[in-house]
Structure 1
Amino acid sequence: MEQLNRLADCIDQLRRSTETRSVEAVQLVKEIENRDQLIAQLRRDLKEVTARAASQERETGRLRVQLREQQQQLAAATTSLQAKTDEAAALADQATDLQDRLAGKHAELLKLSDWSHAIERAPLRYSIRKFLYGWSRRVFALLPLDAQRKSRLASQLRRWLKRRKPVPGQSAASPEQASQPLPALLVNLPPPPLTTQPCVVMFGVIDWHFRIQRPQNLAKELAKAGQTTFYISNNFIDDQAPGFEVEALDASRRLFQIRLKVCGAPAIYHAPPSAAAIGQLCQSIAMLLRWAKVGAVDCIVQHAYWFPLARRIPNSTLIYDCMDHHEGFGNVAQELLDLEIALMRRADLLVATSDWIEQHARRENANVAVIRNASEYSFFSQRPEQIYQDAKGRKIIGYYGAIAEWFDLDLIQHVAQTFSQHLILLIGNDTTQAKKALKACPNVVFEGEVPYASLPYYLHAMDVCLLPFKVIPLTLATNPVKVYEYLSAGKPVVSVKLPELSKFGDRVRAAENPTDFVAAIREVLQALPEAQSTLQARRSFAQQQTWRHRAASLRQAIDTLPQPKVSVVVLTYNNLALTQACLDSLVTHSHYPNLEIIVVDNHSSDETPAFLTDWAKGHPDRIVILNPDNKGFAAGNNVGLAAASGDYLVILNNDTVVTAGWVKGLLRHLRDNQNIGIIGPITNNIGNEAKVSTRYKLIEDMHVESAELTYGRMGESFEINTLAFFCVMFPRTTYARIGGLCEEYGLGFFEDDDYCRRVQQLGLRAFCAEDVFVHHHLSASFNQLGAQKKRVLFEKNKALYESKWGPWVPHVYRDV
């Protein structure tokens, strides 16, 4: 009996232990169910996060069933005191094992709820990514995570979601081409030959060798037209030191690919450049510009990432070549979209590839030119000696290009099923699992991506060429390149109805619905073989739509770009040689088409009046005003300002020599910062912070050194209390509010201090542009007064200034 009691006690102890474990298991189930409800809610909000999540959920459900079964067994064991000890122990072991397994699965589910792990382990379908990005901010606000983890999680999610996507309407290339190492980059090349034309710096969206697209085609044609062209690759060199590597792309040494050095080699598609990246990029591009000895620059930007760099390049015209409706991709960071808007507004010229983009662009910029896509006609029009052949001899209905989210798989399936007796040939990178979706259509053949050079091999084998796009904002904005290429080969084209298809007239059959699309294909097939005149009509149209035509249109749009008028007032008093050097530099180095030069002579006694009269003859943009007496610095300049008609006004001493692109440089700072009321350049000789150290002794050497100085400081400026009026620029709005210089100061001294105080009194600011240099001889006219007269005049005007503005703060040099 004692043994039975002990056995009963043991069994009772096991029962209590089992009950305790059961309670713990129940609590564990409740916790898991609570977690599952949270995950389920996230799944409902995000429409089934991943296929893996669904798989794990099914696994969890199976484990729940197992758990319920084990609970039933456990309950039965606890109610049966007749169970043997080893059976109770076995049940306890099973419960423990089950608990461990559940804990492991629970941890996996927690990892799955952490987006970063799910993203790293199993990429989502493109359509899910698009939806996730739009809702991510809202979802992150609901997640029970601390701010630091949310920030890290968001960063990891963006890096996955914003991976680069192919561009619609562009030609395909082989995956091997993308994975091959770049050709050996040439170093220590001599600079390209000098030219009077502006050089082109084209900031690309892909590497030159990845795919041949619009940017490369335009770059090739601009180089053929004589413009030295630097194609800036998006593939950076990871290096802490600034620099670049150059690759010559043609024998004429007019076309180069440039790879810039940037620490970390960031991808341009994910986020705007950091401040550190911008600084290093500026240094790297400065080294390129010095090496190439460039003058004026046409900066053609293909992606918003480059905007903070391109806007800083001295003596440049900023062109944004807007190829696509980037927001339509759905995976572009909002920061990049905001940067694109800023680029659209700031660009000197905004190029749109379609009417849809033009309408959007004109809301941001008045200077918009529509320059559509085109084809390399000579390449696509020539039939290769060998072309693709179907082993079964079927007619070929074909398409080449990216097979991405804008590709209508349902439409292609309808075509394949309707024309089951024909071959549906699809060429291009499949990023939307089209092959899997169309596996039930045996007449659909996927060739994958092929090299650009192989496209005619397939194109000339096609009996009908398709453009089977979905009608979405992205494609509504697209001017499809491949249609030009199809027509270059004389091929009949059937497309969905898109706005840009109207530009092709009846050369392309455009269908509004799948029924019409199939009917159009049937009409083409029934009309085969087509008359040679029909084929030639298509080719003739394409022959007038080449990249050479588009490059010429781009060049014309840049050359005819309206520029704000700038009026330069130069006050002279004797010193003819200095005046001649100043005016010659204005004509030679300003590189600005809408420049008005107004020379006011303060009754010079040398040959200056005669020279000026002869200098202005036959030049309506040169105005000479001869004062009957010496009105002094302020009054003399006021005469010129009153005669000026420009949108921007410049006061320039006649003892200065301007440098290349100085007008655009000062203008850029005024346009980029509406709070600047007046701005001046750095110089070699002045009594304040605008003075910088220089080495040159001859004026001929000054231009080379000034380029080195300004390239190294591109985009930089600083606020200054008082600008010296040897060279200042201000908008007409400043002049309209303040008026001219104060004439109470007579011959000179302190009128520049006074004017700056009046500017600041309006809440505006005075700035010095670090990337604009103007040579200054310093006080050439005042030196004729003599030291004593200058001192008397200085003290008199100082007293006048202090009576108006308080104690005068002497000018200082910058800290070196």
Structure 2
Amino acid sequence: MSWAGPFQYDIGKTNNRGENPVEVVFDDSLPTLLCLSHLRWSFVYQRPQHLMSRFARDYNLLFWEEPITTEAAEPWLEVRPDASGVQVLVPRLPEGRAGEASERDQRELLNGYLDKLGVGNELLLWYYTPMSLAFSDHLWPRLTVYDCMDELSAFRGAPPELIERETELLRRAELVFTGGYSLYEAKRERHDNVHPFPSSVDVEHFASARQPQQDPEDQARIGFPRLGYYGVIDERLDLDLLEKVADMRPDWQIVLLGPVVKIDPAELPRRDNIHYLGAKAYDDLPQYLAGWDVAIMPFALNESTRFISPTKTPEYLAGGCPVVSTPIIDVVRTYGDTGIVRIADSPEAFVEAAAEALADAAEPDRLLETADGILGDMSWEFTWSLMKEKMTCSM
């Protein structure tokens, strides 16, 4: 299906995992939730995907991504239905469109698509990036939610106007969620309806890693013991730490899964015992995790990690893997005294903590019992239900 006019809307027929064709479904009886995100739906599967796929049960869910350059002479909107019920919307803008021209194109594409769907007064807005205000600040939703999952202004390459736009978004939003307690403390003085929702976990999905599985082909050739990490490889990782740990223990194999973003791949440490296996699908992560002895979070301590609350911490534990992390504030607060998430502030301490974590393999029952006690009700389903309650109370 496509609509012609000043702007064109092309409807894709497959979801982001290339599965069976998925048609656009729009239920006039449901309100519409428009999620404006700096992360792409088909990128690393994390907080936005977990939450929006659940909100799609109760809303017509539109997921608006940042624009992509097109060779076409005119802007158009790609509409990619996902099997979860989410409609992924990708603005395609002619090369060279930036600044006010880009914002104007996105505003017109958004307005046109909302009009085509017949979205009326039952619109809710959910922001992951304040930068989206540039083309959506004219909308009058029943509710505006700001889910501040990261301190984006501290990330490499952040637009200078982001801080000013966040101030405006905090003024407009009726409800603010944060991705951890450190972020909550940073935002609670700036809004009177802020609620912390730290990282949750799909326990059932990652618990499959507790069972013996066939090693993925690209990991099977790697020896043991294995220290593993999955996630985006960017300025938040302490590359010097990784290099020193690899040098101190050449008999340990360090496995890194994930896309390299915002850093030059040439900057990555290269050692015979460091293995970069690239980005992996969310569905495949437990199979890799099952083949690790220790899961690691070698984050640098800098402005970009000051407020993070890594989703992978409970995922690693759900998979039955002990964890070694650098002293990220929210990790220390939540897991530092558990005995199965060890904190290390130097390469020497990291090696010592990893050696202790390897010894946990001798007591797997204690490890799993402790992990299950920590996870408790940290499910995405529980987080989603609590967020729904906060939204209902705020409308």
Tell me if both proteins adopt one fold, taking TM over 0.5 as the criterion. Answer: yes
Shift of 1:503: 1.4
CA distance in 1, matches of 2:82, 2:96: 24
* Equivalent residues in 2 for 1:507-522, closer than 5 Å: 507-522=340-355
Q: Which residue of 1 aligns with 2:54?
A: 221
Match for residue 372 of structure 1 among 176, 180, 198: 198
User: Which secondary structure does the structure 1 equivalent of 2:362 belong to?
Assistant: coil
Counterpart Cα distance in 2 of 1:185 and 1:318 = 32
Listed one character per residue, the Cα deviations across residues 202-255 of structure 1 (whole Å, up to 9, x for unaligned) are 11223322332211111011124x33322223246867888755433237xx43
Partner in structure 2 of residue 503 of structure 1: 334
Distance 2:155 2:52 in 1: 25
Q: Check 1:399–1:208 CA distance in 2 against 1; reply closer, same or farther (3 A cut).
A: same
RMSD of the TM alignment (CA)?
3.1
Deviations 1:261-291 (A, max 9, x none): x653788xx857756336414522432541x
- What is the aligned partner in structure 2 of residue 688 from structure 1? none
Q: Would the aligned equivalents of 1:494 and 1:520 in 2 still touch at CA under 8 Å?
A: yes
**CA spacing shift, 1:466–1:183, aligned 2, 3 Å:** same
Distance in 2 of aligned mates of 1:283 and 1:193: 17
Contact 1:464 1:521 in 2 (8 A): yes
Structure 2 residues without counterparts, runs of 5 or longer = 1-15
The amino acid of 2:55's aligned partner reads L
Distance 1:183 1:460, change over 3 A: closer
Q: Which has the higher contact order (CA 8 A, sep 6+)?
A: 2
Does residue 429 of structure 1 match 2:255?
no
The alignment partner of 2:356 has SS state of helix
Q: Does 1:299 align with 2:135?
A: no
Give runs of aligned pairs for residues 558-577 of structure 1, distance below 5 A. Answer: 558-561=391-394
Q: Write the mapping of 1:443-462 to structure 2, written as runs, cut at 5 A.
A: 443-462=273-292
In the aligned structure 2, how far is the partner of 1:237 from the partner of 1:414? 40
One-letter code aligned to 2:390: A
Match of 1:191 in 2: 26
| SS in structure 2 of the partner of residue 426 of structure 1 | strand
1:298 maps to a residue whose letter is L
Amino acid at match of 1:336: L
Whether 2:114 is the aligned partner of 1:286: answer yes
State the shift of 1:524 in Å. Answer: 1.5
Contact 2:241 2:346 in 1 (8 A): no
Structure 1 distance, partners of 2:135, 2:317, is 38
Using the TM superposition, give the Cα deviation of residue 449 of structure 1 relative to its aligned residue in structure 2, in angstroms: 2.0
More strand by share: 2
Residue identity opposite 1:324 in structure 2 = D
Which residue of structure 1 lines up, in the alignment, with residue 162 of structure 2?
336
Residues 451-490 of structure 1 mapped to structure 2, 5 A cutoff: 451-490=281-320
Q: What amino acid maps onto 1:510 in structure 2?
A: I
Secondary structure of the residue aligned to 2:52 is helix
Alignment of 1:122-161 (within 5 A): none
CA distance in 2, matches of 1:451, 1:334: 33
- Specify the alignment match of 2:65 in structure 1: 233
SS for the counterpart of 2:247 is helix
How far apart are residue 398 of structure 1 and its match?
1.2
TM-score, structure 2 normalization = 0.82
Residue in 2 that maps onto 1:602: none
In structure 2, the residue matched to 1:407 is: 237
Structure 2 distance, partners of 1:184, 1:457, is 24
Q: How many residues align?
A: 371
5+ residue gaps in structure 1?
A: 1-179, 562-591, 593-816
SS at match of 1:211: coil
Report the Cα distance in structure 2 between the residues aligned to 1:265 and 1:218, rounded to whole angstroms: 33
SS at match of 2:45: coil
Residues 1:498 and 1:211: Cα distance change in structure 2 (over 3 Å): closer
1:423–1:409 distance in 2 versus 1, CA, 3 Å? same
8 A Cα contact 1:271 1:333, kept in partner? no
Call closer, same or farther: CA 1:263–1:526 in 2, change over 3 Å: closer
Contact in 1 for aligned 2:74/2:94 (Cα 8 Å): no
Distance 1:206 1:185 in 2: 23
Q: Is the 8 A contact 2:320 2:368 kept in 1?
A: yes
| Aligned partner letter, 1:316 | R
> Does the alignment pair 1:257 with 2:84?
no
Measure how far apart 1:471 and its partner are.
0.8
Q: Which shifted more, 463-472 or 399-408?
A: 399-408
SS at 2:325 equivalent:
strand
Of 373, 377, 384 in structure 2, the residue corresponding to residue 551 of structure 1 is: 384
* Amino acid corresponding to residue 537 of structure 1 in structure 2: T
Q: CA deviation at 1:385?
A: 3.4
Give, in angstroms, the shift of residue 301 of structure 1: 0.8
> Where does residue 365 of structure 2 map in the other structure?
532
Aligned to 2:104: 276
Counterpart CA distance in 2 for 1:272 and 1:339 is: 15
Counting only pairs closer than 5 Å after superposition, residues 727-806 of structure 1 correspond to structure 2 as none
Aligned equivalents of 2:35 and 2:342: distance in 1? Answer: 35
The 1:395/1:203 distance shift into structure 2, 3 A limit, reads same
- Whole-Å Cα distance in 1 between the matches of residues 183 and 155 of structure 2? 14
Q: CA deviation at 1:483?
A: 1.0
Q: Normalized against structure 1, the TM-score is what?
A: 0.42
- Alignment match, 2:151: 325
DSSP-derived class of the 2:161 partner: helix
Residue 460 of structure 1 and its aligned partner are, at CA, apart by 1.0
- Counterpart position of 1:360: 186
Which amino acid is the alignment partner of residue 59 of structure 2?
Q
Partner of 2:295, secondary structure, is: strand
For 1:273 and 1:325, the matched residues in 2 are separated by 27
Q: Is the 8 A contact 1:272 1:305 kept in 2?
A: no
**Alignment partner of 1:387 is 2:220:** no
Q: What is the letter of the counterpart of residue 214 of structure 2?
A: Q
Amino acid aligned to 1:231: F
SS at match of 2:205: helix
Q: Please identify the structure whose Cα radius of gyration is greater.
A: 1
* Other structure's SS at 2:38 match: coil
Residues 529 and 181 (structure 1), Cα distance of their counterparts in 2 relative to 1, 3 Å cut:
closer
**Aligned residue type for 1:528:** A
C-alpha distance in structure 2 between counterparts of 1:458 and 1:433, whole Å: 25
Partner of residue 269, structure 2: 438
CA offsets 1:328-374 (integer angstroms, 9 cap, x no match) = 11311212332222212321112111222222222322221111222
Q: Report the Cα offset of residue 493 of structure 1.
A: 0.3
Determine whether 1:247 maps to 2:80. Answer: yes
CA distance in 1, matches of 2:196, 2:230: 25
Partner of 1:212: 45
Q: Aligned partners of 1:478, 1:542: CA distance in 2, in Å? A: 18
Which protein is richer in helix relative to its size?
Answer: 1
CA contact (8 A) 1:244 1:284 kept: no
Question: Which amino acid letter does the alignment assign opposite residue 224 of structure 2?
Answer: R
Q: Does 1:418 align with 2:248?
A: yes
AA matched with 1:552: S
CA distance in 2, matches of 1:533, 1:452: 27
Cα distance in 1 for residues equivalent to 2:377 and 2:273: 36
Seq. identity, %: 23
In structure 2, distance between residues paired with 1:349 and 1:265: 36
Partners of 1:266 and 1:379 lie apart in 2 by 42
